[in-house]
Structure 1
Amino acid sequence: MEKQVIYRDRQELQAADLENTQGWGDDALAHVISDAISSERHYTGLAVSSNSATELTIDPGRLYDGSEGHVYAIDNAQIKSVFSMLPLQDEKWLAVSVVGQENDTNLEPRDFLIDLQTREVEPQTVAMQRARVADVHIAQGLESPTPEKPEPPTGYTLIAHVRLTSSGIQEIVLAENRRLPNLQRVAGRVDVVEGWIDTAEPRIAHIQSDIAGLADSLNQRATIEQAIQLGMDMAKVKERLEIPDDYVFYGADHYLDGRETDTTQADYNAHLDEGVRFAQGATVTTQLDIDNPLDGAASLSAEGFLLPRYDERARMRLENRAGELTINQYQYQTVETVQRTMTRQHIRYGATRTVCTNGSFWRSGEYDIATGIFSKDGETFEVEDDRGRRDGPGGLTHWVRVKEFWVDEYEEAYWSQVTTSHTIQGSVLAQTFLSAQTGWHTSAEIYFTSVANDGAVTVMLTAVKNGQPDTSKVLSRATLTANGLEGGWQKIPWSRPVFIEAGKRYALVISSGGAHRVGFGEGTEYTQGLLMYAQDGDYFNEAEERDLMLRLNFAKFRSPRAAIQLKSLELAGGIHDIDMLFEGFRPAGTELAFQYRIGGEWYSVEAGTAERLGVSPALLPLRVVFTGTTDLMPGLLLTDSQVKLAQHGTEFRHYSTERSLTTPSDTIIIRTLVEDFDDDAHTLDATLVIDGATVNADNQVTEVVDRRSYWLESRFNLASPANAYTIRLDGQTNDPFKGYHVAERYDIAL
């Protein structure tokens, strides 16, 4: 109550005091109803039912009038006859409503003082109770084959509509929208809504990242105009490369690999990198490393995987326990697994990084992209079929070739080119699930109801094939010793965050020989997966309505942009060219950029900035800039990365492998495609080496293709037919920061 009457001993009591006591209490209750419950009219109880074909029963209940803050009641059930309202032949609707009224009741005789001096009293019969009563009103609609529902009079509150026919009551429709919500039921509904929010909010919050990724992916698709132009260009190429009818040998080299290059020659001196280029000068190979491991903007895993600073947030929770399973109650078996590694990114940057048109041949299937672009330290990537296709990524999703800046990325986060094999032994449980969001999965949590004294637990995150875990595609694994296990939620931190993609299925595979018990919940609607056990190399459902109790934690980044300082790059004599190869992944809609500092200003490793290296800095401060959203960022592995720093050379000498002819020839034609050639700075000579002797061309003709490309045709008329020959190319430049390249070569023996 806002106000109270104060009573004291031996104090005069007036009638107004008693009236205020109940009046102020009534006002306070009215304020509670109007302010906290509802300012409109609602009812509780007052259920309408049919007592017979022509009688309605209105149960006890109350009418809450929020406009006044009053409560009106019906204390006893009322029966209303509708016999007189029955339609003659069609149908009609009735509107049953209630309205609040105040009635004075409970008449009692009471003495009234009529003479103050003599204290004479006179009895009178008066009402001693004022009741707020809800009166029932029934409004009739019009009789019709398709009657309309009538509305109650103004100020009345509808509690039900009743449909009548000539035979009586046919249907009662309660006005549920006017029923006063019960706080307990509202609390229950709120709990359900909050539970839904807990599960749906992370997915909804991630939509922004998904939309950005989709837009970025669409922007990289070729248009129909580009496809038409490609077809026209191919028609021109076919016409230009028409081969004479009388040739005895034909050879070609696109200079994408060393299959037709002879590097054993003592004076071989060229750099083969999507074309023949000037040999590099001084070089040094190092790796990327963070400058300060305690950098507040960075999150660095034990394996050296770098992400911007993040906090862990659970995106999937299955916490309601319905039962438990003992892991080793199932068949003990040995499982061979293959763990995949994150795909690599390759960034090359320097003033002489001119664009070779033959780079598109990486997509042709003739060349092994992984070997040509992503290999390091003598790795050998094998092509699995005769068309150059491999298990995993089918091609490059991000492939940039512009002057000074080259980038290569695979579209898949994990590949099968570099793998690690493991053997696990024990009983195997697995929980599959559908990923609803894209993000970096940092750890999983499994609920152990009890743990045994021995038996390590191995947990793997795998891809799913045909609805079952695919242990040939393990993305991460962790092993927990028996001593480290405790009952309750057990966290399984991955050695580095794992990239999970929306719309793909994954599996948590648990293997152990110990009698550990894990909890499970009911229903599989949330995971859209199954709890399984392995037997004889196959998986079977323990029960279709079960899910393993688990939590899946993901990275929630603190900022949509982070700049992290890396260790500086060093090369005595100056840095001209940067070649970076590292494991990492850049999801669609995010950016990963490297920047270096010269003269107090940061420059991005991108097209149009390589001339800044013209000052030949021996020490180059370096940082990496992550741009994305608070849900999604790119990531890179610093460990085992490779950074090759080089200086530009001014000449090259390239030898082809020896060409052996089945029929001796005295006429050899060599056609060489040269790109970005400058007559004022560059020279190029094509010669033959026959039996150790150099033979110069008798005639050389240039054929201009466009402003940056021309064909150099060299014709050799030999004094006597030759059975074999080697092609030598010699190039020079008078400016180390101005390069050109030989894109391809065709040789024909007539």
Structure 2
Amino acid sequence: MTKVVHFSEAEVAESSDWENASLYAREGDEAIVGGAIGYPHHWAGHSISQTSAIEIAINPGALFTGGIVYRNEEPISVNLQLYLPLVTGDRRYVALLLRGEEKTEQESRLFEVDADTEETVERMTPKTGLRQIVCVVQQGLTSPTPVKPVVAADQCCLGFVELSTTGIVAIEMDNARRVKTLYELVIANTTIAAALLTTGWNKFSIRPSPLESGKRYAWFTVTTGNHALETVSGNKFAQGSQFHVTDGAWAQGSTTVDFAMRLNAASFASTRTVVEFQPLILENGMTDIRLLHAGWTLGGTAMTWEIRPSDADEWRPLNDTIGERTPLAGLPPLVRLRAVFTGTTDLQPAIILDAYARGMTFRPRGDMQAVSIEHQFGLSSQTIQVEAVIDQYDPQKHTVSPKLIVGGTVLTPTTCVITPDLVSDKKKTWLATYLLGAPATSARVRLDMTTTEVTDIPFIQNIAYYAL
């Protein structure tokens, strides 16, 4: 709190004095929440439990909106009956939005109405001011493959609930809008055993991390022993301040004392660095390369992966194309790989070569089978049609064969009509009709395709099937 209410002996206190005592305490909380925490529309402490097939309970927690905190002391019950899809097979996502509201609760109190007789009467009077949480449901569109509704930036989304015609399917918390603790926001951390601590300089080795210019960063220590850090006076470190935290929330800065500290930062001999890695190999040639690694490329820097196939004389960017030909168009079995880092002598991109970093090579097969899941028609029929749109199709290289799977039987079409696209000569539509020997209520589709060149393959743009 930055303000307090003082009382003197024998003073007759006014009602506003007692009111201010509460208001000043709230203002102190708002100053900390708004100035030091500052989450615009986030939640903390909540969880969601399913109480029935169509009801959920939002357990107690808090809502942070700038400098104001709202809280619900009791679970909030939400009935989702009105949001269930109506068509069998459809599903829908709903978003649970938390909003704050202010409420004043009244209580019965005795009021003096006659000073001489001290007569009193009982009245209801405003007594407790509450900042509480309410839940608003935002629904998405129904679909066999539903998507989550888009939540506005000025709303706090607690989570999403997936619904079917019979009730709740799944509950997913929106952790992007959860208030993070100080520990979760620290960029890196390390631990030194007590036996390794010495008088003098102690080196805390942490993993390399990017620190952007123009931003303020904090570091802190936690110990369960009787340890202390050396301090200096006279504002030795002008670009930072020492803070004391005693309760995990409130921090008090010092204007005279700083910790004795040094920061190790990377420096570079050149503004451009080239690092060549072991070559990538795939027997009989490759058409695709996938590189998996962590790292960063900050503003003003750039990192480019370059390759040099075994039959090439120059290095080319991995994502480079000349016309429609990629650097891997010739199916090279071996490719040299290098990374080019560009920046300044103080700031460069970085990649992390840990146990998860790897390079992978791929090449498509000359044939494929795509099998759908089984779909219910909702009726019984002996006539089924499959419609498939195939793009990048070349009849000189490719074949397409639509099939229908009923039970365990694979059926070829009774008739099949191929229709050219009016815009693209590489796109065609297959309409296959199947006349079944017995009525069916469900089926799967299988699409078989082949190519004579693995560097030139068609793809399925769209496929659908109908029971007539």
- TM bucket by the smaller chain? 0.5 to 0.7
Report the 3-state secondary structure (helix = DSSP H, G, I; strand = E; otherwise coil) of the residue aligned with 1:553.
Answer: coil
TM superposition score normalised by structure 1: 0.36
- Measured in 1, the distance between the counterparts of 2:380 and 2:238 equals 74
User: Per chain length, whose mean CA-contact separation is higher, i.e. which structure has more relative contact order (CA < 8 Å, sep 6+)?
Assistant: 1
- Measured in 1, the distance between the counterparts of 2:241 and 2:428 equals 60
Structure 1 residue 527, shift from structure 2 partner? 5.2
Structure 1 residue 694, shift from structure 2 partner? 2.6
- Measured in 2, the distance between the counterparts of 1:586 and 1:706 equals 41
- Measured in 2, the distance between the counterparts of 1:560 and 1:365 equals 45
- Measured in 2, the distance between the counterparts of 1:678 and 1:524 equals 73
Q: Which amino acid aligns with 2:188?
A: S
RMSD: 3.8
Asked whether the 8 Å contact 1:583–1:637 carries over to 2, the reply is: yes
- Measured in 2, the distance between the counterparts of 1:731 and 1:543 equals 69
- Measured in 2, the distance between the counterparts of 1:604 and 1:620 equals 12
Structure 1 residue 516, shift from structure 2 partner? 2.5
Find the structure with the greater CA-based Rg. 1
- Measured in 1, the distance between the counterparts of 2:419 and 2:234 equals 77
Report the 3-state secondary structure (helix = DSSP H, G, I; strand = E; otherwise coil) of the residue aligned with 1:702.
Answer: strand
Asked whether the 8 Å contact 1:365–1:389 carries over to 2, the reply is: no
1:664 aligns with 2:380: yes
Structure 1 residue 611, shift from structure 2 partner? 4.5
- Measured in 2, the distance between the counterparts of 1:589 and 1:682 equals 46
Write out aligned runs for 1:199-598 (5 A): 385-386=160-161, 391=175, 470-494=182-206, 496-502=207-213, 504-518=215-229, 519=231, 531-535=243-247, 538-545=248-255, 547-597=258-308, 598=310
From the superposition, tell whether residues 390 and 679 of structure 1 become closer, same or farther in structure 2 (CA, over 3 Å): farther
Q: Which amino acid aligns with 1:638?
A: L
Q: Write the deviation string for residues 346-391 of structure 1: whole angstroms up to 9, x where unpaired.
A: xxxxxxxxxxxxxxxxxx769xxxxxxxxxxxxxxxx974598964
1:626 aligns with 2:341: yes
Selected match of 1:678 from 388, 394, 399: 394
From the superposition, tell whether residues 528 and 668 of structure 1 become closer, same or farther in structure 2 (CA, over 3 Å): farther
Aligned to 1:601: 314
Report the 3-state secondary structure (helix = DSSP H, G, I; strand = E; otherwise coil) of the residue aligned with 1:471.
Answer: helix
Asked whether the 8 Å contact 1:655–1:726 carries over to 2, the reply is: yes
Write out aligned runs for 1:184-199 (5 A): none
Structure 1 residue 655, shift from structure 2 partner? 0.8
Q: Which amino acid aligns with 1:532?
A: H
Selected match of 1:735 from 442, 453, 462: 453
Write out aligned runs for 1:119-138 (5 A): none
Q: Write the deviation string for residues 620-674 of structure 1: whole angstroms up to 9, x where unpaired.
A: 3221111223333221122221322223321111111111233223443433342
Asked whether the 8 Å contact 2:378–2:441 carries over to 1, the reply is: yes
- Measured in 2, the distance between the counterparts of 1:540 and 1:249 equals 54
Identity %: 25
Greater shift after overlay, 686-695 or 475-484?
475-484
1:702 aligns with 2:419: yes
From the superposition, tell whether residues 717 and 513 of structure 1 become closer, same or farther in structure 2 (CA, over 3 Å): closer
- Measured in 2, the distance between the counterparts of 1:670 and 1:732 equals 19
Structure 2: any 5+ residue segments left out of the alignment? 1-86, 91-146, 150-157, 163-171
- Higher fraction of helix: 1
- Measured in 2, the distance between the counterparts of 1:662 and 1:608 equals 48
- Measured in 1, the distance between the counterparts of 2:290 and 2:250 equals 49
Structure 1 residue 498, shift from structure 2 partner? 0.5
Q: Write the deviation string for residues 156-208 of structure 1: whole angstroms up to 9, x where unpaired.
A: xxxxxxxxxxxxxxxxxxxxxxxxxxxxxxxxxxxxxxxxxxxxxxxxxxxxx
- Measured in 2, the distance between the counterparts of 1:385 and 1:528 equals 42
Aligned to 2:70: none
Structure 1 residue 543, shift from structure 2 partner? 4.3
Asked whether the 8 Å contact 1:671–1:713 carries over to 2, the reply is: yes
From the superposition, tell whether residues 543 and 589 of structure 1 become closer, same or farther in structure 2 (CA, over 3 Å): closer
Q: Write the deviation string for residues 429-450 of structure 1: whole angstroms up to 9, x where unpaired.
A: xxxxxxxxxxxxxxxxxxxxxx
Structure 1 residue 563, shift from structure 2 partner? 0.6
- Measured in 2, the distance between the counterparts of 1:716 and 1:470 equals 63
From the superposition, tell whether residues 703 and 666 of structure 1 become closer, same or farther in structure 2 (CA, over 3 Å): farther
Report the 3-state secondary structure (helix = DSSP H, G, I; strand = E; otherwise coil) of the residue aligned with 2:337.
Answer: strand
Asked whether the 8 Å contact 1:675–1:708 carries over to 2, the reply is: no
Size of the aligned set, in residue pairs, is: 301
- Measured in 2, the distance between the counterparts of 1:570 and 1:562 equals 24
Q: Which amino acid aligns with 1:743?
A: Q
- Higher fraction of strand: 1
Asked whether the 8 Å contact 1:249–1:749 carries over to 2, the reply is: no
Asked whether the 8 Å contact 1:687–1:696 carries over to 2, the reply is: yes
Structure 1 residue 684, shift from structure 2 partner? 1.7
